[in-house]
Amino acid sequence: MLHMVITRHSPESCPGREGNESVHPCLTSMEEFMKQRGVGIVGRWADPPAHVNYMVLDAPNAHVIQELFMESGLFAYTVTDIRPILSMDEQP
């Protein structure tokens, strides 16, 4: 099932900001947790000035994605919306 994941962070908690290196291990572990759970990345996009990231993930359900953010620790640095989506190219 496809999910649009919209992740926002503040300028103060931006991973690109000097002094915020503590978020980097969270990002690394997130990638590893995704592999372990078979969550696929369909696409990723970033809007750096707005401090917003967009991902389309292929995951069994939204709970798996929520667990990824919790276990990686990334939830402490971001606000995330997880929404199930359908491809407009696929007809039911």
> Quick check: 55 and 46 in contact, CB under 8 A?
no
Phi, psi of 42 (to 5 degrees): -85, -40
Report the pLDDT value the prediction gives residue 89, as an integer from 0 to 100: 79
Token pair 């991902």 is found at: 55
Report the pLDDT value the prediction gives residue 88, as an integer from 0 to 100: 84
Two tokens, residue 23 = 């978020």
Q: In terms of Cα–Cα distance, which of 87, 76, 82 is closest to 64?
A: 82
Two tokens, residue 41 = 């990345």
| pTM across the whole model | 0.87
**Predicted confidence band at 87 (pLDDT cuts at 50, 70, 90)?**
confident
- The two beta strands, 2-8 and 79-85, are antiparallel
Structural domains present in the chain: 2-85 (3.30.70.1060)
